């Protein structure tokens, strides 16, 4: 993943796509389930880039300027990747919304981030937000991605348009190349605490690029790999280790149809990489044990396995790599590597990440991937950094 002498070093997120497009224009970039044909469909990197140009022109035609925030409430899909890359490519700042959030919470994030544009799958999602909060003072436009008509739009306080009409409005636009610096914001990701409103974590281009590159040094991924994307893009883990790392390496990402189809999708897509959280692996573990229990003969052999999920998957010779991270660290801090994959640990720190443990046992981080701070919360930002600049995770370690 190091740059060759002919390549310019990558310092901003859109450069990942720029370089991969040069190397692998005809290779498949993304795959998703097509409801109309009832089959999987794919696009190449060049086809994706061609469609991306239309999105960027439409965004510029909407008077969304560099630095403006753009809220995205879309399921993982080719459209959600287009939205994110268009926003970043135009020097704007993505604000991913959580699909499972309440309408009131989504409305709060839109207003708190002062988002200028919102992408939603259907008008009903927008209507629910309007019912929860009738004032969106900074929002200029709502783009409905999955509908060709707006017959369900009800008394929208903000102009609303279908994706088809939005793209058409930008066709004659002459795209202007924005100036993007490594220290500019590349996203504001909201993470909820135990009390109060969610906080917006400000991640810069430098933060994300450094984390992607750090992951790439310890995880063997290349353009022949295939991801099955399951976690939402509002989850920084998925955003960095699946979505951006795939763009960086040229790997293909196929978007899962959701939790109910996950097992079937795994069988059909046959991914070489699957990124998830412990709860999903626990479900796989439970279903596997239930299936084996039906057969009876192997029940005693499996009962001898350590209860650790990591040991379970290693015993099946499935290369499960555990890791640790936080939204505030873009997110990966550590990951187990080949030859040192102890299933009871979270691995070693990435090459560009420093860690230390204070006298109270708290893990602290210093790295180029550590966030710029919390959006509009300078005091909260100050509280999570030590006087010598280390990020206080709040987690105990040994």
List of residues 6+ apart from 114 with CB closer than 8 A: 69, 138
For domain 37-180, which architecture applies?
3-Layer(aba) Sandwich (3.40)
Tokens 């009876």 found at: 296
Indicate the angle between helix axes 14-23 and 205-218, nearest 10 degrees: 50
Task: Please report the pLDDT score of residue 8 as a whole number.
Answer: 78
Residue 382: both structure tokens together: 């100050």
pLDDT tens digit at each of 398 positions of the chain: 544 445 679 999 999 999 999 999 999 999 999 999 999 999 999 999 999 999 999 999 999 999 999 999 999 999 999 999 999 999 999 999 998 899 999 999 999 999 999 999 999 999 999 999 989 999 999 999 999 989 888 789 999 999 999 999 999 999 999 999 999 999 999 997 666 889 999 999 999 999 999 999 999 999 999 999 989 999 999 999 999 999 999 999 999 998 889 889 989 999 999 887 655 545 544 554 444 345 444 333 335 333 455 554 444 445 677 889 999 999 999 998 765 656 667 889 999 999 999 999 999 999 999 999 999 999 999 999 999 999 999 999 98
**CA–CA distance, 343 with 266 (Å, rounded to integer):** 23
Edge-to-edge, what's the strand order for the sheet holding 93-96?
Answer: 93-96, 69-72, 117-120, 141-144, 160-162
Kindly state the greatest CA–CA separation across the chain.
Answer: 69
Of residues 231, 247, 203, 205, the one with CA closest to residue 375? 203
What length does the chain have? 398
Tokens 């009903």 found at: 124
Edge-to-edge, what's the strand order for the sheet holding 391-396?
Answer: 354-357, 362-366, 391-396
Encode the chain in three state secondary structure. Answer: CCCCCCCCCCCCCHHHHHHHHHHCCCCEEEEEEECCCCEEEEEEHHHHHHHHHHHHHHHHHCCCCCCCEEEECCCCCHHHHHHHHHHHHCCCEEEECCCCCCHHHHHHHHHHCCCCEEEECCHHHHHHHHHHCCCCCCCCEEEECCCCCCCCCCCCCCCEEEHHHHHHHCCCCCCCCCCCCCCCEEEEEEECCCCCCCEEEEEEHHHHHHHHHHHHHHCCCCCCCEEEECCCCCCHHHHHHHHHHHHHHCCEEEECCCHHHHHHHHHHHCCCECCCCHHHHHHHHHHHHHHHHHHCCCHHHHHCCCCCHHHHHHHCCCCCCCEEECHHHCCEEEECECCECCCCCCCEECCCCEEEECCCCEEEEECCCCCCEECCCHHHHHHCECCCCCEEEEEECC
Task: Please report the pLDDT score of residue 100 as a whole number.
Answer: 87
Of residues 351, 23, 25, the one with CA closest to residue 213? 351
Task: Please report the pLDDT score of residue 286 as a whole number.
Answer: 53
Indicate the angle between helix axes 45-61 and 78-89, nearest 10 degrees: 60
Q: Where are the domains of the chain?
A: 37-180, 277-318
List of residues 6+ apart from 181 with CB closer than 8 A: 12, 205
pLDDT 10s digits, 352-389: 999 999 999 999 999 999 999 999 999 999 999 999 99
**CA–CA distance, 305 with 24 (Å, rounded to integer):** 43
Indicate the angle between helix axes 14-23 and 45-61, nearest 10 degrees: 140
Cβ-contact 156, 130 below 8 angstroms: yes
**CA–CA distance, 261 with 299 (Å, rounded to integer):** 27
């Amino acid at each position: 993943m190091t740059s060759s002498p002919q390549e310019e070093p990558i310092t901003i997120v859109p450069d990942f796509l720029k370089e991969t497009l040069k190397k692998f224009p005809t290779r498949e970039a993304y795959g998703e389930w097509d409801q109309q044909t009832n089959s999987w469909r794919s696009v190449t990197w060049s086809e994706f880039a061609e469609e991306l140009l239309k999105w960027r022109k439409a965004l510029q035609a909407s008077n969304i300027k560099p630095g403006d925030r753009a809220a995205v409430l879309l399921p993982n899909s080719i459209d959600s990747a287009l939205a994110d890359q268009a926003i970043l490519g135009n020097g704007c700042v993505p604000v991913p919304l959580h699909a499972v959030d309440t309408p009131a919470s989504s409305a709060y994030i839109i207003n708190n981030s002062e988002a200028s544009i919102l992408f939603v799958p259907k008008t009903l999602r927008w209507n629910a937000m309007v019912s929860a909060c009738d004032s969106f003072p900074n929002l200029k436009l709502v783009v409905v991605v999955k509908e060709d008509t707006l017959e369900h739009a009800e008394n929208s306080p903000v102009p609303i348009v279908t994706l088809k009409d939005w793209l058409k409005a930008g066709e004659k636009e002459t795209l202007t190349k924005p100036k993007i610096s490594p220290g500019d914001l590349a996203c504001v990701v909201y993470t909820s605490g135990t009390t109060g409103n969610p906080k917006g974590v400000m991640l810069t281009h430098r933060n994300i690029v450094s984390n992607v590159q750090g992951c790439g040094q310890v995880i063997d991924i290349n353009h022949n790999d295939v991801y099955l994307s399951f976690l939402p893009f509002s989850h920084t883990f998925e955003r960095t280790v699946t979505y951006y790392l795939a763009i960086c390496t040229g790997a293909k990402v196929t978007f899962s149809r959701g939790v109910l189809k996950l097992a079937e999708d795994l069988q059909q897509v046959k991914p070489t990489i699957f990124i998830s959280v412990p709860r999903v692996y626990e479900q796989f573990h439970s279903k596997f044990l239930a299936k084996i229990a039906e057969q009876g003969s192997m029940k005693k052999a499996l009962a001898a396995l350590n209860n650790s999920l990591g040991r379970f998957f290693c015993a099946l010779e499935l290369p499960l790599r555990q890791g640790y991270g936080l939204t505030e660290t873009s997110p990966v801090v550590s990951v187990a590597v080949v030859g040192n994959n102890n299933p009871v640990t979270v691995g070693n720190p990435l090459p560009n990440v420093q860690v230390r443990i204070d006298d109270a046992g708290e893990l602290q981080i210093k790295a180029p991937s550590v966030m710029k701070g919390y959006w509009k919360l300078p005091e909260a930002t100050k509280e999570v950094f030590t006087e010598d600049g280390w990020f206080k995770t709040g987690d105990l370690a040994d």
